[in-house]
């Protein structure tokens, strides 16, 4: 079995990307929230449940996709709608610290369980 990020560009991968695009459009037409994200996720979940083999993507392609998703989310934010109060900034840093602490806790638990 190949490791994630060790795939190559192929016609199968191109076909999968087209199917994911169509799944996103179908989800958008059925009014699914965040359709462009959840449509392909539902499609790939269905493929996994049906034991359909899907091609792996190159790690560099995944990095480019993550960059585009970040740019898209950043473009959705409107400067006039952002109100950075002291309370919001505190909650942002606090929730980030709690997330990092929980992640480290889970890492230590898994390290003890699995060596």
DSSP letter at 6? Answer: B
Is residue 71 domain-shared with residue 105, that is, in the same domain?
no
Is residue 71 domain-shared with residue 95, that is, in the same domain?
no
- For 16, residues 6+ apart whose C-beta sits below 8 A from its C-beta are 54, 55
What is the C-alpha separation between 19 and 12, in angstroms, rounded?
10
Over 60: is that where the pLDDT of 4 sits?
no
- Which structural domain range is residue 44 located in? 1-77
pLDDT bracket for residue 7 (50, 70, 90): low
Higher pLDDT, 93 or 76: 93
What is the arithmetic mean of pLDDT over 31-35?
A: 85
Is residue 67 domain-shared with residue 92, that is, in the same domain?
no
Is residue 71 domain-shared with residue 87, that is, in the same domain?
no
What is the C-alpha separation between 40 and 36, in angstroms, rounded?
7
Is residue 45 domain-shared with residue 65, that is, in the same domain?
yes
pLDDT bracket for residue 50 (50, 70, 90): very high
Is residue 20 domain-shared with residue 68, that is, in the same domain?
yes
Is residue 6 domain-shared with residue 51, that is, in the same domain?
yes
Higher pLDDT, 104 or 57: 104
What pLDDT score does 53 carry? 84
pLDDT bracket for residue 45 (50, 70, 90): very high
- For 42, residues 6+ apart whose C-beta sits below 8 A from its C-beta are 23, 27
- For 10, residues 6+ apart whose C-beta sits below 8 A from its C-beta are 55
Is residue 6 domain-shared with residue 35, that is, in the same domain?
yes
Is residue 27 domain-shared with residue 1, that is, in the same domain?
yes
What pLDDT score does 2 carry? 44
What is the arithmetic mean of pLDDT over 25-43?
A: 89
Contact 25, 37 (CB under 8 A): no
Is residue 10 domain-shared with residue 38, that is, in the same domain?
yes
Q: Is 38 exposed, middle or buried (0-12, 13-18, 19+ CB in 10 A)?
A: middle
Q: How many domains does the chain have?
A: 2
């Amino acid at each position: 079995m190949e490791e994630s990020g060790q795939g190559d560009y192929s016609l199968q991968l191109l076909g999968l990307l087209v199917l994911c695009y169509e799944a996103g459009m179908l989800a958008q037409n059925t009014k699914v929230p965040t359709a462009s994200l959840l449509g392909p996720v539902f499609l790939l979940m269905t493929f996994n449940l049906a034991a359909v083999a899907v091609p792996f993507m190159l790690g560099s392609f995944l990095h480019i996709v993550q960059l585009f998703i970040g740019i898209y989310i950043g473009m959705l934010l409107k400067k006039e709608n952002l109100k950075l109060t002291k309370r919001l900034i505190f909650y942002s840093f606090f929730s980030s610290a709690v997330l990092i602490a929980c992640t480290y806790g889970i890492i230590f638990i898994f390290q003890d369980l699995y060596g």
